[in-house]
Structure 1
Amino acid sequence: MKNKVLASLIIALIAATTLLSGCGKGTQTGSKKPKTLIYAQGADPRGLDPAYVDDGESAKIIVNVYEGLVKYKPNSTEIEPSLATEWTVSPDGKEYTFKLRQGVKFHDGTPFNADAVVFSVERQLPPKATDDMPYASFTFGPVEKVQKVDDYTVKFILKQPYTPFLANLAMSLAAPIVSPAAVQKYGDKFIENPVGTGPFKFVKWDKGQSVTLAKNEDYWGEKAKVDTVVFKITKENSVRASELITGSVDIIDGVDPNDIKKLEDNKIQIFKGKGMNINYMAFNTSRAPFNDPKLREAVSHAIDRDELVKYLYQGYASVANTYLPDFIPGYNDKVQPYKYDVEKAKALLKEAGKENLEIKMITYSNPRPYNPVNGQKLAEAVQNYLAKVGIKATIEVYPWTEYKQKAAQGEGDILFYGWVGDNGDADNFLSLLDSNEIKSSLNAAKYSNPKVDELLAKARRLPNGEERNNVYKEIQEILAVDAPWLPISNAMDMAAYSPKVKGFTLHPTGAVYLKDVDKE
């Protein structure tokens, strides 16, 4: 009898356990496990207010927190609606009127409306614009004023027709719309406490470590597929690659060509795309010795760019012959920089009385989208070439944020830089040689040529087409002779990601849009 009772108790206990287990499974199915996506990049953002930064590390985070009136279509620089649903342009090309999306809220709960657009733009126009807003003149320089027509209509009035204007409004910097209430609340700390309308909300920034974002549950469009995004700061390329292989991060950028085989052997996915970028060496043309174009020519002849690109980038970059990628309208395929010629370099140095020239070069320590091996390796390779023609060059290496400050202050006779195109327009690259951008620090060479300024202004007024493209071709011819830069390479866009990650791509502008990225 005891055994029968015991057996009955055991059966009852198993049945109850099974029932509870089934209930538990049902509960687990109903409450999805939160998904965290970890993206490792090589440097801290400079800041998270789109009006005050000009670097890719900041932009990658900014595009997930903020939105602009218009945006780029996936994998292209074609324009489509975002916070504006439609727009019209006046026949004279000087007035742009935007109808705004209704029912949108900033992450702080305040409404998005015409007042927010006017606020976001006016703070980057005179007299409110400040010298530490690097993209303000670049983006809004042509704007005479911005007006609220009604709560959901705004009008931009330009000083003159400006063909790149609409494309500029889709850029990840300067153009995004910020919460006026949050800017007023945080003051100069808003750069560390971003509030936009985007698919992710800012959570925290541990300087030098990570930036954390959370899914915006109140987003007006299709909501993000992951719950949390962590932008992890890992300076060393090889360490980022190892973190990806071990699974401690999900996506990395700044992929070193030396790591690609190891990554692929470990079943890591590699994203490869044609890069809309330029990697260059800039001369500080504002003072001696490189205010002398003949000396810039001499140094240009000293560097074997073909060998340099092959050695450093191992087939994942192509030699750049001008200041534009070759697929940008207006690219001049007839232009070549000064060719590698050691004897010519020595002769020009002798002619200038500079056979024993000593110079200082500055560079950055981290990888860049246009230079995945980092600035120090590039500078050391150039240093070796210069030594062969009798130039003694010292190198100072700085973390990216500090490097940007040093370059803006004019440190260094030669500096290493690059650019990732914001919008697919030639003006976006060639404006880096506009003397009006010296103050903003975008003109890293501090180069000034009235003829180049005049031609840039002319091209901005012309409609897209052959006449406009020919102006840009003429500018490239002038720059090839003047040599404020030595163009080095156009890098392939590359990132690496775990097989568990779905839907990831790099946009041609270098932005990383994570709303549609999922993780198994």
Structure 2
Amino acid sequence: MPLLKGANMLQPRVARPRRLALIGLAGALAVSLSACAESQRDSSGGGDGGTLVFGATGAPANFDPFYASDGETFRVTRQIVENLVGIKPGTAELEPELAKSWESSEDGKTWTFELQEGVKFHDGTPFDAEAVCANFERMYNQKGAGASPALSYYWVENFGGFADDGKPSLYDGCEVKDEYTVELKLTRYTADFPTMLSQDSFAMQSPTAMEKYKANDVKAEGDSFVFSEYAQKHPTGTGPFKFSNYDSANGTIELVRNDDYWGEPAKLDKLIFQVIPNETARKQALEAGDIDGYDFPSPSDWDALEKAGFKVEIREPFNILYLGITQKGNPALRDLKVRQALAHAIDRENLVSAIMPKNSEVAKQFYPDTVDGYADDVQEYPYDPDKAKELLAEAGHEDLTVELWYPTQVTRPYMPNPEAIFGAIKEDLEAVGITVKPVSKPWNGGYTDDIESARAELFLLGWTGDYNSPNNFIGTFFGTTDNQFYTGGSSWGEELAEALDDADTIVDDAEREAAYQDINRKLMSEYLPAIPLTHSPPAMVVRPEVEGLIPSPLTKEEFATVSISE
């Protein structure tokens, strides 16, 4: 999900999203909060839960989740819109949402959804099978800028092509069976369906509002997009909160409770997101009482915040930090023994204990053990400098020189302190005789572009899962040979990509599980295209009076359950 700069966002133009930016965090910029936050707090309206002001790390790209891939857009729209299928709070498990049940045909290509009855969008439009098909047809029939992979990122990643672009698509149609029964047709089976529908971009939005405010009216201008009136001012869903106002000058997004919500209404009267890009400024705003909580407190502040009486809500780790290895430029890195030497040279236990947040874990493979297909018996690479030196000697690369890339002007849930992590790895590599050339670039100033283009030799990067699926992790990393690791330059690159593609099409659960376990074993023994380092838990912090906020391992928090005690 892309990063966004500054506090005065939701201008008509925003930067095109980039694949590797997962959860929006902006650069260092302090803002004055007291006047706007206090005025918002005083206008709570007397509801059961009052008003919560939450410090967001960046501004939304827009308010139409279909045209978004950044965490700050989704943080807001998740409260407004809902999906056919949802994620059980506090977990990565699938649960019913706007669809109360579903079943598939024997070949897994036709899915029938039974919908909740009596649900209405915020504008009064009924949510029914017609509305579902209107949403999917809108997604599939994108044209021009709307069909850009940079804009409709999640559709392209999950469904592929659009109606008129001539590219293969997973989507094969939507059919209304009756008022509350809808049939979605696919061109092939995939194990990720229907779980992929839990992603924010596939939320159900009011067909009436999208037509009235010209939701598809998006245009490209250079490297930016100009969004529709719908995306800027009129997002309309079925969720527990309704969009009220966005004050770009003060960087505040105001939502109000949907009193006609079909489920249990939100406890809060108002929910305000205050954009504060700088983490220190967010901390100061919390301490001053200007906000009630914020996301991604620095791990170094967790103990101090707790001692000050605040609640640090730690999410379960659902991510991976890895040392990427590009086999394109440096021929030595194409040698498996060299990659194994790198793995033995890095003291990952030290990373966990000295640098990463508490409750972090050493990663043994490329996703957490809660994801299907995790193999307990993969080859491991314990810290062993002597073994690393031995392998380098066997490969004839005792004098190895490598570039080690790390990002600046950023913190990530899986990489809270890039410079410190870089320093520890650099020291470990140099201890086994490797000459390390540091390369640093701003996250939004060339780092992610160069990584995507396979220009880096060794690099720090990671991933937070969109949902519980091995394909969402290793399929994203290694599912093609033209990737950041340049596995297409290896004899096994195509074999790995084909194995991942085949595993995703296996209908039988046990057989598919075994296939992914086998891939994970080969990834860690025969291939080792990168080195998994750690899984780390990102946190939120709130005032002690804030109750009912459930941390999500997917960073998909919903605020309907939140209240502020007296």
For this structure pair, what is the TM-score category when the shorter chain's length is used for normalisation? Answer: 0.7 to 0.9
| Change in CA separation of 1:485 and 1:207 when aligned onto 2, cut-off 3 Å | farther
| Change in CA separation of 1:423 and 1:194 when aligned onto 2, cut-off 3 Å | farther
**Secondary structure of 1:430's partner?**
helix
1:199 aligns with 2:250: no
| Change in CA separation of 1:328 and 1:61 when aligned onto 2, cut-off 3 Å | same
Counterpart residue identity of residue 473, structure 1: Q
**Secondary structure of 1:274's partner?**
coil
**Cα deviation, residue 63, structure 1:** 1.6
Q: 2-side partners of 1:402 and 1:38: how far apart? A: 34
Counterparts of 1:431-442 in structure 2 under 5 Å? 431-436=475-480
1:282 aligns with 2:324: yes
- Give the TM-score normalised by structure 2: 0.75
Partner of residue 492 from structure 1, selected from 531, 537, 542: 537
CA contact (8 A) 1:271 1:495 kept: yes
Counterpart residue identity of residue 201, structure 1: K
Bigger Cα displacement from structure 2, 42-51 vs 424-433: 42-51
**Cα deviation, residue 437, structure 1:** 9.2
CA contact (8 A) 2:329 2:455 kept: no
Bigger Cα displacement from structure 2, 203-212 vs 238-247: 203-212
**Cα deviation, residue 447, structure 1:** 4.1
Counterpart residue identity of residue 191, structure 2: T
Counterpart residue identity of residue 91, structure 2: S
**Secondary structure of 1:394's partner?**
strand
Counterparts of 1:303-322 in structure 2 under 5 Å? 303-313=346-356, 315-322=358-365
1:63 aligns with 2:75: no
Partner of residue 417 from structure 1, selected from 425, 446, 461: 461
Residue in 2 that maps onto 1:227: 269
**Secondary structure of 1:51's partner?**
helix
1:82 aligns with 2:97: yes
| Change in CA separation of 1:454 and 1:281 when aligned onto 2, cut-off 3 Å | same
**Cα deviation, residue 318, structure 1:** 0.8
Larger radius of gyration: 1
Q: 1-side partners of 2:203 and 2:79: how far apart? A: 11
Corresponding pairs, count: 487
Counterparts of 1:237-276 in structure 2 under 5 Å? 237-276=279-318
**Cα deviation, residue 506, structure 1:** 1.1
Q: 2-side partners of 1:327 and 1:273: how far apart? A: 14
Residue in 2 that maps onto 1:7: none
**Cα deviation, residue 322, structure 1:** 0.6
- List per-residue Cα deviations over 1:307-337 (Å, max 9, x = no partner): 1121112532011111121233321121144
Residue in 2 that maps onto 1:189: 227
CA contact (8 A) 1:108 1:195 kept: no
Residue in 2 that maps onto 1:296: 339
Q: 2-side partners of 1:384 and 1:121: how far apart? A: 51
Q: 2-side partners of 1:307 and 1:370: how far apart? A: 16
**Cα deviation, residue 517, structure 1:** 0.8
1:99 aligns with 2:114: yes
**Cα deviation, residue 166, structure 1:** 1.7
Bigger Cα displacement from structure 2, 53-62 vs 202-211: 202-211
1:514 aligns with 2:556: no
**Cα deviation, residue 499, structure 1:** 1.1
Q: 2-side partners of 1:477 and 1:158: how far apart? A: 31
**Secondary structure of 1:165's partner?**
coil
**Cα deviation, residue 110, structure 1:** 5.1
**Secondary structure of 2:66's partner?**
coil
1:214 aligns with 2:252: no
CA contact (8 A) 2:115 2:128 kept: yes
Residue in 1 that maps onto 2:37: none
CA contact (8 A) 2:366 2:474 kept: yes
| Change in CA separation of 1:101 and 1:399 when aligned onto 2, cut-off 3 Å | same
**Secondary structure of 1:135's partner?**
helix
Q: 1-side partners of 2:87 and 2:434: how far apart? A: 48
Residue in 2 that maps onto 1:426: 470
Q: 1-side partners of 2:344 and 2:303: how far apart? A: 34
Counterparts of 1:122-137 in structure 2 under 5 Å? 122=137, 125=140, 129-132=147-150, 133-137=152-156
CA contact (8 A) 1:69 1:82 kept: yes
**Cα deviation, residue 358, structure 1:** 4.4
The Cα RMSD (Å) is 3.5
Partner of residue 398 from structure 1, selected from 428, 431, 442: 442
- Give the TM-score normalised by structure 1: 0.81
- List per-residue Cα deviations over 1:433-479 (Å, max 9, x = no partner): 343496xxxx6545452222333233323346432222111111121
CA contact (8 A) 2:470 2:516 kept: yes
Counterparts of 1:343-492 in structure 2 under 5 Å? 343-346=386-389, 351=395, 355=399, 357-359=401-403, 361-363=405-407, 365-371=409-415, 373-388=416-431, 389-399=433-443, 404-405=448-449, 407-436=451-480, 444-445=484-485, 447-448=487-488, 449-463=493-507, 465-481=509-525, 482-492=527-537
CA contact (8 A) 2:110 2:184 kept: yes
Residue in 2 that maps onto 1:328: 371
Counterparts of 1:139-218 in structure 2 under 5 Å? 139-141=158-160, 143-149=170-176, 152-172=180-200, 174-179=201-206, 180-181=210-211, 182=213, 184=215, 186-187=217-218, 188-190=226-228, 192=232, 195-197=235-237, 198-202=239-243, 203-204=245-246, 206=248, 209-218=251-260
Q: 1-side partners of 2:484 and 2:181: how far apart? A: 38
Question: Which consecutive unaligned segments of at least 5 residues does structure 2 have?
Answer: 1-42, 161-168, 219-225
**Cα deviation, residue 71, structure 1:** 1.0
| Change in CA separation of 1:401 and 1:185 when aligned onto 2, cut-off 3 Å | farther
1:121 aligns with 2:136: yes
Question: Which consecutive unaligned segments of at least 5 residues does structure 1 have?
Answer: 1-27
Q: 1-side partners of 2:521 and 2:252: how far apart? A: 44
| Change in CA separation of 1:356 and 1:479 when aligned onto 2, cut-off 3 Å | closer
Q: 2-side partners of 1:70 and 1:472: how far apart? A: 24
